[in-house]
Each structure stands twice: as C-alpha cells, then as structure tokens.
Amino acid sequence: MAAEGSTQQRRRVMAAASAASTSGAGRCRLSKIGASRRPPPARVRVAVRLRPFVDGTAGASDPPCVRGMDSCSLEIANWRNHQETLKYQFDAFYGERSTQQDIYAGSVQPILRHLLEGQNASVLAYGPTGAGKTHTMLGSPEQPGVIPRALMDLLQLTREEGAEGRPWALSVTMSYLEIYQEKVLDLLDPASGDLVIREDCRGNILIPGLTQKPITSFADFERHFLPASRNRTVGATRLNQRSSRSHAVLLVKVDQRERLAPFRQREGKLYLIDLAGSEDNRRTGNKGLRLKESGAINTSLFVLGKVVDALNQGLPRVPYRDSKLTRLLQDSLGGSAHSILIANIAPERCFYLDTVSALNFAARSKEVINRPFTNESLQPHVLGPVKLSQKELLGPPEAKRARGPEEEEIGSPEPMAAPASASQKLSPLQKLSSMDPAMLERLLSLDRLLASQGSQGAPLLSTPKRERMVLMKTVEEKDLEIERLKTKQKELEAKMLAQKAEEKENHCPTMLRPLSHRTVTVAKPLKKAVVMPLQLIQEQAASPNAEIHILKNKGRKRKLESLDALEPEEKAEDCWELQISPELLAHGRQKILDLLNEGSARDLRSLQRIGPKKAQLIVGWRELHGPFSQVEDLERVEGITGKQMESFLKANILGLAAGQRCGPS
C-alpha cells in the first residue's frame, strides 16, 4: 500500500509539472536546437540560509524567531497568533552553523556542469539588508563565498575539458556590473557611463559596450575582480556599516569551439547576482541620498516580486521591462537558465517582518518554471569566402551547355589519365589556393581521413544541385537586367544624337524658355451712373444726339446698355458709384418738405421708411411746433435718429427719380 501511495503521489507531481509547463508555454522560449521539441522544464531551486546572531545588535540576547526543523524545512512564529508557527519547506535549509563550503557544495556546485553543455545558470542572493547576502556571495579570505569557489572550480573544469587532444577548445571571459538607481554601470570600466540592455533576434539578453576580460586562471580573475569590487557603491546605515546600495552582477561566459567537423560552437553564461536588500527606512534612518537609494532598491525588488507572481499565475504579460534588474534577470526567472535562489534571513526578532517577507518571496519563487536549452550553432565562415566561376557553380552538365560554339569546336585536349588509387584523387579543397596554408593543410588532412574511412556522399565543398539551380537562375536574371539597361542607354544616346542634329539644321541652339511673366491687371476706374427722372429721360431721348445710361442688374453680371446701341456691352465691374443731379435732389427734397407740412398721417405713410407710428409722431410734432423749415428737422422728432434720417432721404429721393408717387393722393 505504501508503494502504491508513493506511485500515486509521483503521478500527481508529474501532472502538476505538466500543467505548469503548459501554462508557461507563452512565456518560455522554445529550444534553438529544435523548434518541434520543447526543452524539459527545470524549476527554480530555493535554498534558505539563517545567519547567526550578530554581537551588538538589538535583541541579540532574545530567543530566535526562526527555527530549523530539518535540512529542507523551517518554522517561524506566527505574528497573528503567538501560540502557532508558520512552516516552510524548500530545497535546502542551512542553519546558523552551516559553513560556506556547505552552501556551495550543496546548492551551487551541481549547476556548474551545465555550462559545459552550452546552457545558462544563475545564482541569486536575496534577503533584507544586514542578512548576510554579500557574505554568502563574496565571503572573506578565510571563508571564501560562492563567487570565488565557483570561479575556481569552473576554471579547473575548463582546463580539463579544453586540454590538448580533447574535442573542444574552451575560453572564459568575465564582466562585472552594478545596477545603481536604475543605471547599469560597468565596474571594470567606471568611466563608460550608463549602459543599455538589449535583446537580440534569438531572445538573448545582452549589454552593448560592457567590458569583457578573458581569464585563464584564478589569479587572472582576482586581478580584474578585486579592483572592480572596490568600485561598487556601498554606504553605512543603522543596520549595516557596509550596506550594498546597488545590485551587483558578475557575468562569466564560457565559449566552446569544436576542433573537428562539423565545427560546432557552444556558449554558456553564469550569472552570480548579489541583490541589494530591502530596507525599512524607519529602522535604517535613511535620509537624503540614502533615502533615494533605498527607494530605487525597494522599487526594483517590488517589480521582481511582480515578475514572480506573473510567472506563477501564467499571465500573458510578464513585466520584465518595468525595471533594469528584472530585464537583466529575464533568463534566470522564467527563461533558459538553471537558477538557484539563496534567501538569507536573520534570527533577531527585530527582523521578523523582513524575514517573513523574504520567506514568502522564496516560497513563490520555487514555483517558477524555467526551460534551459543548449546554445549551440555552427561556426560561421569556417572555410572562408570562396569565389567560384559560373562554370564551377553550374557543374559538368550545365557547364557543357553553357559553353559557346567556339569552345565546342575546339574541344578539349587528351583526357587526363585516371588516378591509380582513391588516395591519389584530386580533392576539391585543393582549388582553394587563396586559403591560409595552415587551414588548408588541416582541411586536406581531414578530407584524406574521410576518404580513407570510405565515407560516401558529396565532397565537403560541393554545391548541391538545388543551390546550383538557384544561383544559375539568379545569374540569368542579372544578365537580363544588364541587357535591358544597356538597350535603354543606347536608345537614350540615339535620341540625344537626333536632337543635336535637328538643332544644327535649324541653327538655333536649344535654350531654356523664359518663365512666363504674371499678368498684372490694372483696376479700371469706377463707372458713374446718373439717375434722372423718367420725364427728363424721355425728353432727352427725343433729341437725336442724346445718350443716356441706365443701370440694370441681371444676375451676377451687370450690363451697361445704350439706347442707341443694338448690342449690350458687358463690363467686368460689379460695383457702381451712384451720383444724383443737384436739380433732381433739390426737387425731391422740396416735395418731401411739402408732404411733411401738408400731408396727413395716411399721406406720410406713403413715404418709404415711414410707418404708422412715425407718421403719428410727425403729425403731432407739426401741431405742437409748427411746419418744418427743412427736411433735416425730422431728426428733432422723437424716435427718428440720424441714421434713419439718412436712409429715409436716399430711399425717397430714388423713388422720386423712378417716378413713384410721393405726394398726397
């Protein structure tokens, strides 16, 4: 029954892992070695380290708030109910008596072998300020931490695997940077300034301009790393005299190149990350610059928590780009790296809330699924650029068809004698006379080795038929394009020659036509129309030499007609100036004055612009003040303004000119 129960439990674990991998399919990149086969999942492994009490700190004499139960689990007091405890289980738990070697050998050393397989790995130290993260990663000369131990073992592995006679040649480079207030700074070259984080077409995170130092021994590593470590930003707070004010990232890259065919190359990256601790400014006493640094640290760690939550929930968008730290850790969390998270906690009760927060983050992080794969590719330009003629590209049958008739008539001389043995066969590599002699000799020896082993198939440098046909088609298209351009050029030259000959015959050189000048229209003087009474017009029309103009409006155009002219003459002017003769004006004013003095209210209403109300006002004013002496006296009548008087005169005088009735009936 026990075996059956364990089998069922194992099945449930496998089903949960399968579901987690399905939910994370959108956020994990596929393997570069085969798109049809997804790489196996690898969960982020989490280890918790409890540091011992520090002498001189508050609460050093109090009992610890955290207690380890075994090598994988611990318990902490429940702040809601002091009678209960909260239990956590991780991949490893290291108590206050654990040494640096225990942590390195138990959690970090097993992932170094993945670098030699072309895969990525990362180690992160997480925890509140003063919990011992930097001590875990760097250590001291007496107790070296994870970074020096990992570099020492990695360099030893690369020397063994890259020794003479092994199939791979290995090289190691290192880079060291810090993220200080959302700025990426190169610790190996502090003068380089703020660097940018990019992503290449294959999804790899890279930093252009970051210094890379080749290292072959641990002495080389110390020569570069120790001066760079002194460039890291540190500061004193109430809780830590040397508090890290930035996130430090040591990047170690292992490049492998295969010495024999097919000349593959692999690249593995190791990220060793010392995160700055989250800080409670009420206890650290940060002010000014320290307060600003603390805000940047807490913000980046908050985004880190959001990334972990998004990965666990399977959200479509993971906020990697919200912080420089999470952008750099994109491979480590939900990416393509074997990741180890070392959560550092403190036993003092004053660190209780920070410890609970760190344990909760570690518990969420161990649910993150990564998908490591091998970064492997073929070395580009191994054989160097080869320039072949068109006949060599076409091959024997195609070259025979491409030969001209003269070559077919001449033919070839006596055929060469057949080689005596297969070892004397001329290799296609011997045509590459421009190649480096050492490389050529190496390739020839490899070709002879393959020939001696009886390998069948096409030679190393032979072009496949499909590629040959593509090249042949491309060459034909280029030739047709060249012929078309030549024909077009000849046509243009012939056209130019014909144009020059025509110019010589006409004896007039080709000259540019002058630009047409803009026609300026001069405004014509306004015409004047004289308005006269109809009776005067009839009297003047009776005379033989009379010419009277009458203004008429027909649509938008105005025509000036002459009584003697048969055809009207259109004029472009749309505005006329009205001019009334003095006699007609005096006659009209007198008639209006007579009507004002003698006419009744009904007669006054026959005038234009005079209504019943104004007519009664005029009659009443006349009874009170007597007759009007002039027409302008109308302004004295209540209710008649100067503008009304002006319009009144114009309207009634024009009416008189047109022969309208303006007197009493």
DSSP string, 582-605: HHHHHHHHHHHHHHHHH--HHHHH
Dihedrals φ, ψ of 33, to 5°?
Answer: -90, -10
Kindly state the average pLDDT of the residues 155-172. Answer: 91
Q: Cα–Cα distance between 39 and 542 in angstroms, integer?
A: 117
Work out the pLDDT band at 270, boundaries 50, 70, 90: very high
Is the Cβ–Cβ distance between 130 and 346 less than 8 Å? yes
List of residues 6+ apart from 554 with CB closer than 8 A: none
| Residue whose token pair is 């380890």 | 68
Q: Determine if residue 52 is labeled as part of a ligand binding site.
A: no
Q: Which helix (H) or strand (E) holds 293?
A: helix 289-313
b/e map 5-19, b = 16+ CB within 10 Å:
eeeeeeeeeeeeeee
* Total residues belonging to the chain: 665
3-state secondary structure of 313: helix
Q: Which pLDDT score is estimated for 416?
A: 41
pLDDT tens digits for range 225-237: 999 999 998 877 7
- The end-to-end CA distance of the chain, in Å, is 134
Q: Is the pLDDT of residue 422 over 60?
A: no
HEC profile of 425-451: CCCHHHHCCCCCHHHHHHHHHHHHHHH
Kindly compute the dihedral angle of the four CA atoms of residues 223, 226, 231, 234, in this order, to the nearest 10 degrees. Answer: 180
Q: Which pLDDT score is estimated for 536?
A: 56
HEC profile of 462-527: CCCHHHHHHHHHHHHHHHHHHHHHHHHHHHHHHHHHHHHHHHHHHCCCCCCCCCCCCCCCCCCCCC
Work out the pLDDT band at 476, boundaries 50, 70, 90: confident
Work out the pLDDT band at 156, boundaries 50, 70, 90: very high
pLDDT tens digits for range 437-462: 667 677 777 777 777 665 444 444 45
By DSSP bridging, strand 120-126 and strand 569-570 are unpaired
Dihedrals φ, ψ of 471, to 5°?
Answer: -65, -40
> Domain 582-656 belongs to what topology?
DNA polymerase; domain 1 (1.10.150)
The more confident residue out of 241 and 17 is 241
| CB neighbour class for 319 (10 Å; exposed up to 12, middle 13-18, buried from 19) | middle
Q: Which pLDDT score is estimated for 84?
A: 85
pLDDT tens digits for range 340-364: 999 999 998 888 889 999 999 999 9
Q: Cα–Cα distance between 253 and 270 in angstroms, integer?
A: 6
Work out the pLDDT band at 617, boundaries 50, 70, 90: confident
Kindly state the average pLDDT of the residues 535-547. Answer: 52
Q: Which pLDDT score is estimated for 528?
A: 53
Q: Determine if residue 127 is labeled as part of a ligand binding site.
A: yes
Q: Determine if residue 641 is labeled as part of a ligand binding site.
A: no
Q: Which pLDDT score is estimated for 660?
A: 46
The region of weakest confidence among 248-252, 438-442, 539-543, 624-628 is 539-543
The region of weakest confidence among 16-30, 255-269, 542-556, 647-661 is 16-30
Percent of the residues in the chain that have a pLDDT greater than 70, as a whole number = 68
Q: Determine if residue 136 is labeled as part of a ligand binding site.
A: no
b/e map 508-519, b = 16+ CB within 10 Å:
eeeeeeeeeeee
Q: Is the pLDDT of residue 515 over 80?
A: no
The more confident residue out of 491 and 241 is 491
Kindly state the average pLDDT of the residues 209-223. Answer: 95
The more confident residue out of 210 and 238 is 210
Work out the pLDDT band at 158, boundaries 50, 70, 90: very high
Q: Which pLDDT score is estimated for 208?
A: 93
Most confident of 32-46, 58-72, 314-328, 547-561: 314-328
Domains in the chain: boundaries: 40-376, 582-656
Is the Cβ–Cβ distance between 529 and 576 less than 8 Å? yes
3-state secondary structure of 570: strand
Q: Determine if residue 128 is labeled as part of a ligand binding site.
A: yes
User: Which residues are 370's β-sheet partners?
Assistant: 42
Q: Cα–Cα distance between 447 and 383 in angstroms, integer?
A: 13
Q: Which pLDDT score is estimated for 584?
A: 75
Q: Which pLDDT score is estimated for 74?
A: 93
Q: Which pLDDT score is estimated for 457?
A: 44
Work out the pLDDT band at 367, boundaries 50, 70, 90: very high
The more confident residue out of 525 and 245 is 245
Q: Determine if residue 588 is labeled as part of a ligand binding site.
A: no
Q: Cα–Cα distance between 92 and 90 in angstroms, integer?
A: 5
35 to each of 205, 370, 375, how far by Cα in Å?
Answer: 20, 17, 13
Dihedrals φ, ψ of 57, to 5°?
Answer: -85, 155
Q: Is the pLDDT of residue 366 over 60?
A: yes
The more confident residue out of 130 and 3 is 130
Q: Which pLDDT score is estimated for 26?
A: 36
Q: Determine if residue 134 is labeled as part of a ligand binding site.
A: yes
Work out the pLDDT band at 399, boundaries 50, 70, 90: very low
The more confident residue out of 436 and 660 is 436
Tokens of 286: 């940060």
pLDDT tens digits for range 275-287: 988 877 777 777 7
Q: Which helix (H) or strand (E) holds 250?
A: strand 247-258
b/e map 578-614, b = 16+ CB within 10 Å:
eebeeebeeebbebbbebbeebeeebbbbbeebeeeb
Domain 40-376 shares a fold with domain 582-656: no
pLDDT tens digits for range 2-54: 444 444 444 444 444 444 443 433 333 333 444 445 678 899 999 999 999 87
Tokens of 519: 């026609």
Kindly state the average pLDDT of the residues 370-390. Answer: 67
Q: Which pLDDT score is estimated for 599?
A: 84
Q: Is the pLDDT of residue 312 over 70?
A: yes
CA atoms within 13 A on the CB side of 548: 17
The region of weakest confidence among 71-85, 371-385, 433-447 is 433-447
Q: Cα–Cα distance between 150 and 222 in angstroms, integer?
A: 13
Instruction: Give the mean pLDDT of the chain.
Output: 75
Q: Could you tell me how many helices (H) and strands (E) the chain has, helices first? A: 18, 25
Superfamily of domain 40-376: Kinesin motor domain (3.40.850.10)
The region of weakest confidence among 216-220, 318-322, 467-471, 643-647 is 643-647
Is the Cβ–Cβ distance between 276 and 246 less than 8 Å? yes
| DSSP 8-state symbol, 139 | B
Work out the pLDDT band at 630, boundaries 50, 70, 90: confident
